[in-house]
Each structure stands twice: as C-alpha cells, then as structure tokens.
C-alpha cells in the first residue's frame, strides 16, 4: 500500500468496507513512525505526507482538540486531534464528533460504530490516523 492510499483511508469509509468492523482499539502509531522516518530519509516528499483534505483542516482549525505535540513534519505548529465516527445512519464520510456528550450519545447506539482519531497540522497539512476505537454496539 502506498502512502497516498494510507492517507486517504484515514477519513473515508473505505477502511471499514475493506476490513469489516473492528471491535478493539487499533493503534496506528507504528505506521505513523514509519511514515515520518521515510519522510526524514527523503524517500517521501512533503506533498506526499502533507495532503490533508481541506475538510479535515477546517475541522482541525475550528473544532480540533489542541495537543502539546509539535507537528513531526514542519515542527512549527502543535497538532490538533479530530474524531470522526463511521457506521450505520451516519454520513459516508463520517460524523465529526466534537463533544464528550455527542460521543456518549453515539456510544449508546445499538449499531457497531467506529471512531477514527486523526491528528492534523493546520500549518503544513500533515495528517495521520492515530487510533480506531469501537463505539456503540450495546
């Protein structure tokens, strides 16, 4: 899988249709580190790793959760986290969840949903899927 496919998966439903519904936490930190290493070794260009969808950058700017972690690519901006939930009766591109209350409501649903935690840099547009968490399915 090339990096473009990987990055597109971070906020489209294609990741779900490909692998079925995951019911445990999936951690993507290893892929993240590998991607950053490839970039630092010059095997990936910046535009290959900093290709966040404008919608994701907009969400990160307006409703993203601030972190203390500097962007691994431009090192100028602190990363922001955005959560998208995918599943039945949700938009195909995912529902951007911004409050704990909203998440609690989704978590009470009977359907099995998945929350995608994505980090994004509003400066250089680096983005990466960090974790996938099970939601709902009660």
Interface with Zn ion by CB under 5 A: which residues? 71, 73-74, 121, 123-124, 126
Question: What's the min distance (Å) between Cβ of 102 and Zn ion?
Answer: 27
Q: Which residue lies nearer to Zn ion by CB, 84 or 126?
A: 126
Question: What's the min distance (Å) between Cβ of 96 and Zn ion?
Answer: 20
Question: What's the min distance (Å) between Cβ of 26 and Zn ion?
Answer: 24
For 128, other C-beta atoms within 10 Å of its C-beta total: 24
Closest CA to 15 of 130, 132, 126, 124: 132
Q: Which residue lies nearer to Zn ion by CB, 57 or 117?
A: 57
Question: What's the min distance (Å) between Cβ of 32 and Zn ion?
Answer: 14
| Helix residue ranges, H only, 1-138 | 3-9, 14-19, 29-40, 46-49, 54-63, 100-107
Question: What's the min distance (Å) between Cβ of 29 and Zn ion?
Answer: 18
d(CA 77, CA 88): 35
Q: Which residue lies nearer to Zn ion by CB, 111 or 123?
A: 123
The pair of three-digit structure tokens given for residue 46, joined into one six-digit string: 């910046």
d(CA 56, CA 63): 10
The CA-CA-CA angle for residues 38, 24, 67, to 5°, reads 55
Q: Which residue lies nearer to Zn ion by CB, 121 or 135?
A: 121
Q: Which residue lies nearer to Zn ion by CB, 28 or 136?
A: 28
């Amino acid at each position: 899988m090339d990096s473009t496919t990987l990055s597109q998966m971070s906020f489209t439903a294609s990741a779900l249709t490909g692998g079925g519904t995951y019911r445990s936490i999936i951690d993507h930190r290893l892929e993240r580190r590998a991607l950053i290493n490839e970039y630092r070794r010059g095997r990936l260009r910046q535009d290959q790793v900093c290709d966040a969808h404008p919608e994701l950058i907009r969400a990160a700017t307006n409703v993203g959760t601030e972190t203390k972690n500097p962007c691994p690519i431009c090192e100028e901006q602190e990363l922001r986290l955005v959560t998208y939930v995918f599943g039945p009766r949700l938009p195909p591109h995912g529902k951007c969840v911004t409050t704990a209350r909203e998440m609690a409501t989704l978590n009470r649903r009977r359907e099995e949903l998945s929350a995608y935690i994505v980090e994004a840099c509003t400066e250089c547009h680096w983005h990466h899927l960090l974790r996938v968490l099970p939601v709902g399915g009660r």
